[in-house]
Structure 1
């Protein structure tokens, strides 16, 4: 049974969420503050960590940084009540894999949980997906061979892979990868073009990074037959 660590100090959120996770078949440990969350990661590592940013004693961002420093590679999903884009970017830079903004729909959160656990299994087991990413080591692999990426190219691929199957707007990519957006996204198009070439993607009929006209890009990484 997969083990989920839920670090959330608000019982009105932690109780129904933990019940829902258990109904999904997960074993759930609840921590009410940052220090308890750190203690719960010692020994047998959880398969997934759900961290509220606003935890007592140690906030979720600091907990995330520390568990990454200690070598925990399990997926981390952060919960934030803050609407500031900067907070989510800082959380991802701290080592989180995904985020959900409160108030959230339970169905959406459970879908994110399933996706992170599936992705984590693919990375640990190698899987049969053509593209794999090691966010901790900042390495990307295409069919088992490491792909030489610049820092921006890796960050771009990381964000796209994090949102696998969903369309990522151009504005989101500019804000997360370049920390700014002033109307022009030409540099994004250039990086997408180079990234596609390095992944062996056909620019006219891309398989992995698909353009959604007028919106952004969608990352697809289906197992090869």
Structure 2
């Protein structure tokens, strides 16, 4: 899991980072709220941990800006303020959870394990949208001018790209880690195969969305004009994509 932690006190920031890295998490540290906004804008994270009282921008200001960009990454606020009103303010700003400082590292690790279980059991939004496409996550269906079913890996891949679509790219390794089950006999090289399938299906349904990036990544989503000829050939394209997938499976 990739974590962004923003804490202005150097000793605390280093302590959090070392403790998390020892548990196998990939950690990026920020010293103030503006650094947190910049990092969240440039990179894909699975979790944001933001101290409320920081210079340049407070954690609340940073989180509001991050949420306004469309970033829905799970966020935990660290606060020395125990009043109910302060907690409410944090939740209203877009926080998902909070911990009162001084925090217990044991409790923080327990929260992280709980979040990981959510990821593993696929607690996610039912629908995600970008430009003119809607992904029904549970039904694994993509809808634009027409609709098409996706296989499980394609659906997870598109979900991850949509969640990180705000002027951001993701590495091939990130895509692989979030798309494929560890027990599948596939390596990171399969990412490009599924990117290609998904590009084909997006064209087939007239999506005003394009997947950027070449083989090996990084990849991203951008708004693009719909291909009218692809829309009229959607059924044939779908059959072609399905037969290609069957051959590769």
TM-score range, shorter chain: 0.5 to 0.7
In the alignment, what sits opposite 1:28? 27
- The alignment partner of 1:41 has SS state of helix
Given that residues 51 and 77 in structure 1 are in contact (C-alpha distance below 8 angstroms), is that contact kept between their aligned partners in structure 2?
A: yes
- Structure 2: state its 5+ residue gaps: 130-137, 140-249
In 1, Cα distance between the equivalents of 2:125 and 2:94? 13
Q: Let me know the Cα RMSD of the aligned residues.
A: 2.4
Count of aligned pairs: 131
- Structure 1: state its 5+ residue gaps: 138-142, 145-225
Instruction: Identify if the C-alpha distance between structure 1 residues 115 and 121 changes in structure 2 by more than 3 Å, giving closer, same or farther.
Output: same
Given that residues 41 and 66 in structure 2 are in contact (C-alpha distance below 8 angstroms), is that contact kept between their aligned partners in structure 1?
A: no
In the alignment, what sits opposite 2:78? 79
1:176-191 aligned at under 5 Å gives the runs none
Deviation of 1:133 after TM superposition, in Å, equals 5.6
Deviation of 1:44 after TM superposition, in Å, equals 2.5
In the alignment, what sits opposite 1:119? 118
Given that residues 60 and 78 in structure 1 are in contact (C-alpha distance below 8 angstroms), is that contact kept between their aligned partners in structure 2?
A: yes
Instruction: Identify if the C-alpha distance between structure 1 residues 73 and 118 changes in structure 2 by more than 3 Å, giving closer, same or farther.
Output: farther
Given that residues 75 and 117 in structure 1 are in contact (C-alpha distance below 8 angstroms), is that contact kept between their aligned partners in structure 2?
A: no
Matched, 1:109 2:103: no
In the alignment, what sits opposite 2:88? 89
Deviation of 1:118 after TM superposition, in Å, equals 3.2
Given that residues 7 and 31 in structure 1 are in contact (C-alpha distance below 8 angstroms), is that contact kept between their aligned partners in structure 2?
A: yes
In the alignment, what sits opposite 2:49? 50
Matched, 1:40 2:39: yes
In the alignment, what sits opposite 1:209? none
What are the Cα deviations for residues 21-51 of structure 1, in whole angstroms up to 9, with x where unaligned?
A: 0011111111001111111112321111000
1:118-157 aligned at under 5 Å gives the runs 118-120=117-119, 122=121, 127=122
Q: Report runs of 4+ in structure 1 exceeding 4 Å deviation.
A: none
